[in-house]
Structure 1
Amino acid sequence: MNTLKELYAYRQMIFSLVKKELRGRYKGSVLGFMWTFINPLLQLMVYAVVFSFLLGSNVPKYYLHLFVALVPWLFFSSSLTGGSVSIIASKDMVKKIYFPREIMPIAYVTSAFVNMLLCFLVIFAVMLIGGTVPPEGEVFHFTALLYLPLIMVIEYLLALGGALLTSGLTVYFRDLEHILGILTMAWMYLTPILYAPSLVEAKMVEHGMGHLTWLYWLNPMTPITVAYRDILYYGQIPHISTLLNAALLGIGILILGYLSFRKLQKGFAEEL
C-alpha cells in the first residue's frame, strides 16, 4: 500500500514520461505517428502472405485470426524488451534524484499499452470490413466485447511484471537486453499467434504426450491470446477457465517482478 501511495504521489511524473515516450517514439520520421498503425499492418501483411498463400493455411479469414493475436503480442514483446532498458536509459536521473524507481518501467509499459489501444482502432476497422468468424450456427455476441477491457488489464499486469523483472536484472546483466530479442522471437512461436492451440495439442497427442498438454497453458500469453481471439475473432465470451488462468499467471508474474525489482533496486546507483 505504501508503494501504491508513493506512485500515486508521483503520478504527474508518470504522465509526463508516458507523453514523452509517445512523442519520441517516431520523432523525426516523415510519417511520424502514422507508424503506430503502419507497423502492425505491414507485419500482418507479411505473415498473412506467408501463411495464407505460400503455406496454404485453411483458417477462415486468417488475416483477422492473426491480427487479433499479433497486436497484443507486439505490446507484450515491446514491454519486455524495451522495458528492460528503462532503468539504464534513465541512469542520470536514477543517480541524481529520488523517485520510486518503478516509475520508469511503469511509464514505458503504459506508453506501449496506449500504442496498443490505438492499434485496436485498426482491428475494429478490419472487423467491420471483413466480419468475424463465429462457430457454425452461432452469431457474434456483442456482450463478448465487455470482456475485452478485462483481458487488456490482465495483459497489462503481465507485461508490467515482465518489465519490472527484466529492467532490474538488466542493470546487473547488460547482455540480457540482447538475449531478450532472441527469447521473445522464440516465445512468439511457442504462443498460439500464427496458429490455434488445438494444433499443438493434437501434435502432442499424436506423439504420445497428450498428458502434458497442460504445460502449454503455463505460457502466460497462451490464455491471453486465446481470450483475445475468442472475443474478437469468434465473437464469444471467453471460457472462465481461460480468464482465470490468464489472471493467475498475470498477477503471479507481476508479484514476482515487483518483489525482484524491490530487492535489486538497492544496488542500482552503484551498478549504473
Structure 2
Amino acid sequence: MQIIKEIYAYREMIFSLVRRDLKGRYKGSVLGFMWTFINPLLQLGVYTLVFSIIMRNDIEDYYLFLFVALVPWIFFSTSVTGGSHCIIAQQDMVKKIYFPREVLPIAFVTSQFVNMILSFIVIFFVIIISGRGFNFIALLYLPIIMIAEYLLALSAAMLTSAITVYLRDIEYILGIISMAWQFLTPIMYPVEMVPERLRPLFNLNPMTPIAVAYRDILYYKQVPQLSTLVQGVGIGLLVLAIGIFVFEKLKRHFAEEL
C-alpha cells in the first residue's frame, strides 16, 4: 500500500513522461503521428502476404484472424524489450533526484498502451470494412482483457528493466526471447493446432489466454470463456506481484550500478 500511495503522489510525473514519449516518438518525421496507424497496417500487409498468399492456409479472413492478435502482441513485445532499457535511459534522473523508480516502467508501458488503444481504431476500421461486424456484448469484455495485458506487460517491464541495470546483456537477449515467444503464442495460428498432449504446457504461456480472448471477442464475435478471463487476469496479477517484489529488491542500488 505504501508503494501505491507513493506512486499516486507522483502521478503528474508519470503523465508528464507519457506525454513526452508520445510527442517525441515520431518527432521530425514527415508523417508524424500517422505512423501509429501505418505501422500495424504495414505489418498486417507483410504477414498477410506470407501466410495468405505464399504459405496459404484455410482460415477464413486470415488477415483479420491475425490482426486482432498481432496488435496486442506488438504492445506486449515492445513493453518487454523496450521496457528493459527504461531505467538506463533515464540514469541521470535516477542518480540526481529522488522519485519512486517504479514511475519509469509505469510511464513507458502506459505510453505503449495508449499507442495500442489508438491502433485499435485501425482494427475496428478493418473489421467494419471486412463486413464481419461486432458482438457488442462481447465487446464489453475487451477492457478486462486490455487491463489484464497491461498488468502483464507492466510486470514484465519491471522485471526486465530492473535486471538490465545489473546485467546489460539482457537487453540483447530479449530480442531473441521475444521472437521465440511470439511463435509460442497463438498469434499466427489457432490453439487447436497445438497437439493435445502439449496444450497443458502451452497454456503456461501467460500470453496464450490474452491472445485467445482478443480473438474470441473481435474475430469469432463471442464472449470469452470464464476460464480464459480468470486465467488471463489471474496470471497478470500474479506476475505483477512477482515483478514488484523483484523490482523493490533491486531498485535500492540502481544509482550505484548506473
Shorter-chain TM range is over 0.9
Q: Which residue of 2 is the match for residue 89 of structure 1?
A: 89
C-alpha deviation, 1:141, in angstroms: 2.8
Instruction: State TM-score, norm by structure 1.
Output: 0.93
What's the secondary structure of 2:141's corresponding residue? helix
Alpha-carbon deviations, 1:184-225, whole Å to 9, x = none? 01100000000001001xxx24xxxx2x42111110110000
* Mapped partners of 1:191, 1:127: distance in 2: 22
Q: Does 1:58 align with 2:58?
A: yes
- Equivalent position of 2:181 in the other structure: 187
The one-letter code sitting in structure 2 at the alignment partner of 1:233 is Y
Which residue is equivalent to 2:169?
Answer: 175
**Residue type matched to 1:107 in 2?**
A
Distance in 2, Cα, partners of 1:250 & 1:4? 17
For structure 2, list consecutive stretches of 5 or more residues without a partner in the other structure. Answer: none
Q: Deviations over 1:137-192 (max 9, x none)?
A: xxx53100000000000000000000000000000000111111111011000000
SS in 1 for 2:30: coil
Q: Could you tell me the TM-score, scaled by structure 2's length?
A: 0.98
Unaligned runs of 5+ in 1: 134-139
Say whether 1:239 aligns with 2:239.
no
Identify the residue that residue 21 of structure 2 maps to in structure 1.
Answer: 21
Matched residue of 1:234: which SS?
Answer: coil
**Which amino acid counterpart does residue 19 of structure 2 have in structure 1?**
K
Q: How far apart in 2 are the matches of 1:4 and 1:262?
A: 12
Match of 1:258 in 2: 244
Matches within 5 A, 1:47-196: 47-132=47-132, 141-196=135-190
1:83–1:108 contact (8 Å) kept in structure 2? yes
Distance, in Å, in 2 between the alignment partners of 1:8 and 1:258 is 15
Question: Which AA in structure 1 matches 2:52?
Answer: S
Distance 2:231 2:148 in 1: 10
Residue type of the alignment partner of 2:161: S
Q: Secondary structure at the match of 1:222?
A: helix
Residues 132 and 234 in structure 1, CA contact (< 8 A), matched pair in contact too:
no
| Separation in 1, partners of 2:93, 2:247 | 17
- Secondary structure at the counterpart of residue 179 of structure 1: helix
Aligned AA (1:251): L
**In 2: Cα distance, 1:131 partner to 1:66 partner:** 16
Is 1:269 the counterpart of 2:258 in the alignment?
no
> What is the aligned-residue RMSD (CA, Å)?
1.0
Rounded Cα–Cα distance in structure 2 between residues aligned with 1:132 and 1:151: 21
Q: After superposition, what is the alpha-carbon deviation per residue over 1:231-262, rounded to whole angstroms, capped at 9, x for unaligned?
A: 00011000001111111111111111110000
Between 140-149 and 255-264, report the one with greater CA deviation.
140-149
